[in-house]
Amino acid sequence: MTPTPAQTIGPFYGYALPFTGGGDIAGGGIVVHGHVYDGAGVPVSDALLEFWQADAAGGLGGAPGSMRRDPVTGAVAGRDPASFTGFGRVATDADGHWTLRTVVPGNGYISVCLFARGLLHHLYTRIYLGRDSFLDSLPPERSRTLTPVAEGRDIYRFDIHLQGEKETAFLDFG
Amino acid sequence: MPPRATTPDLPHTQADAGLKGAPDRPPAGTVTQADIDREIAGLHAAHPESGVHPLRDFPPYRSSRLRHPRRALVAVRDPDAAELTGPVFGVTDVTPLDADLTRRHLHEPLGERITVQGRVTDRDGRPVRRQLVEIWQANAAGRYRHQGDDHSAPLDPGFTGAGRCLTDDEGRYAFTTIRPGAYPWRNHVNAWRPAHIHFSLFGTAFTQRLVTQMYFPGDPLLAHDPVLHAVTDERARQRLVAAYEHDLSVPEWSLGYRWDIVLDGPAATWTEEGR
């Protein structure tokens, strides 16, 4: 069957998609944060990032409950800490900045799906906390864009450049 | 002269061509709709077979210029890629009321009550079962409940414009809402977006993620919209337009639209086992 085309997320998804605790996949692990920049080096203040990852043991089963609701008020009730959903969602702030709290995935990378006003079709990339044969197959100037910078104990910085000299390597899965 | 928008000048990241305009803030430049239509026609002629998805580099949509990669995407063909699996959602992530955008407030929204329903499948035709569908839209006057929207149309205290539901075992979804209004934006002089509902969909794999927009049949603005026309294939564009189905209209109550969605992207073969 022929797929339905993508369209830009636009600037006005705020009441629909971000949710309280969206960037808190799991506590007690690492903080990954960064900015999203456009081709002029200007921070993108209306991007939305989604994260999908394995648990610390490498399990990719996920679990429901990322945006668990209070059935009385309909408000987001927060994740059940006993359940690892593997999914996160964060909108960039006015400074183009985002923050994710999670654990290091057993397979070594966090998958990222990026949406923004002006971006007509979302983009995928990966945050590598370990190595694998795919990362090693890339030329250094490209693999560098998938590797966060350690800023301190358990804190990593990962900037995404949509365009330009520092352009992030974006992935195609066919 | 319409009343001044109360929103002060937006920061530079928002003041470019991508945001909607208040009438007292004319868009920068003098690019007309005819200019944009000509640019679109030229790109359609140059890219007749560019695939089902929009070109990421589509200059008639001005905000795309600095927000697309110039380098080719890197192919990943790894059967163990994490992206061949994806997040799951369940009954705890939604409430039944979330699918009815007209019953979220003390007052009902103004506007034409509609239902939008359809089926979500993957590109092999398999239903996407028990997965999350999210929507958002402007109100009947063409204004979003969002501080960044300074279009001088009224907000509606009866309408937020956000909804979600899970697909059923056949991949079906259904929403009750109101028909959104068209609205101006600052892409060029006198630019108007056709009425649309934003959709966000998950498949069984992260590779199948889709964010898109549903349009309404017969809307005269469809011919002029650079966002829609970034999809250069005419048949592909048509798949973004819902069908009015009279049998889906409810007497004395609502007008019915159908919009089926096919997710692109590969999924791990084990997902055939029943996720």
Q: How confident is the model at residue A168 (pLDDT cuts 50, 70, 90)?
A: very high
User: For chain A, what is the domain count?
Assistant: 1
Task: Determine the 3-state secondary structure of B173 from DSSP.
Answer: strand
Residue A93 lies in a domain: yes
Residue A109 lies in a domain: yes
What's the CA gap between A86 and B84, in Å, rounded? 14
Average pLDDT over chain A reads 97
Q: Is the pLDDT of residue B12 over 70?
A: no
- Chain A residues with beta carbon closer than 8 angstroms to that of B19: 11
Q: Is the pLDDT of residue B23 over 90?
A: no
Residue A167 lies in a domain: no
Residue A2 lies in a domain: no
Q: Which residue of A has its CA nearest to B69?
A: A163
Residue A111's domain comprises 9-161
Residue A57 lies in a domain: yes
Phi, psi of B199 (to 5 degrees): -125, 140
| B185 contacts chain A (CB < 8 A) | no
- Which among A134, A114, A65 is positioned nearest to B77, based on CA atoms? A134
What are the structure tokens assigned to B195, written together?
């009425």
- Region B91-104: mean pLDDT is 96
Portion 106-145 of B in contact with A at CB < 8 A: 121-125, 134-136, 138, 144-145
What's the CA gap between A106 and A100, in Å, rounded? 17
Dihedral angle, C-alpha B18, A15, A161, B73, nearest 10 °: -90
CATH of residue A74: 2.60.130.10
- The complex scores an ipTM of 0.98
A30-68 pLDDT, tens digit per residue, is 999 999 999 999 999 999 999 999 999 999 999 999 999
Average pLDDT over chain B reads 90
Smallest CA–CA distance, residue B112 to chain A, in Å, is 21
Q: Is the pLDDT of residue B1 over 90?
A: no
Distance of CA B149 to the CA centre of its chain: 16
% of chain A at pLDDT higher than 70:
100
Q: Is the pLDDT of residue B13 over 90?
A: no
Q: Point out the least confidently predicted range of A2-16, B19-33, B40-54, B100-114.
A: B19-33
- Which among A9, A11, A47 is positioned nearest to A161, based on CA atoms? A47
Residue A99 lies in a domain: yes
Q: Is B107 a catalytic residue?
A: no
- Chain A residues with beta carbon closer than 8 angstroms to that of B64: 8, 118-120
Do A115 and A92 meet the contact criterion of CB atoms below 8 Å apart? no
% of chain B at pLDDT higher than 70:
87
Dihedral angle, C-alpha B128, A121, A86, B205, nearest 10 °: 30
Task: Identify the pLDDT of residue B22.
Answer: 44
Quote the radius of gyration of chain B (alpha carbons, Å): 20
Place of tokens 């994806």: B86
| A45 contacts chain B (CB < 8 A) | yes
H helix runs in chain B, sequence order = 33-46, 234-238
Q: Which among A12, A69, A87 is the nearest to B148, CB-wise?
A: A12
- Global pTM reads 0.94
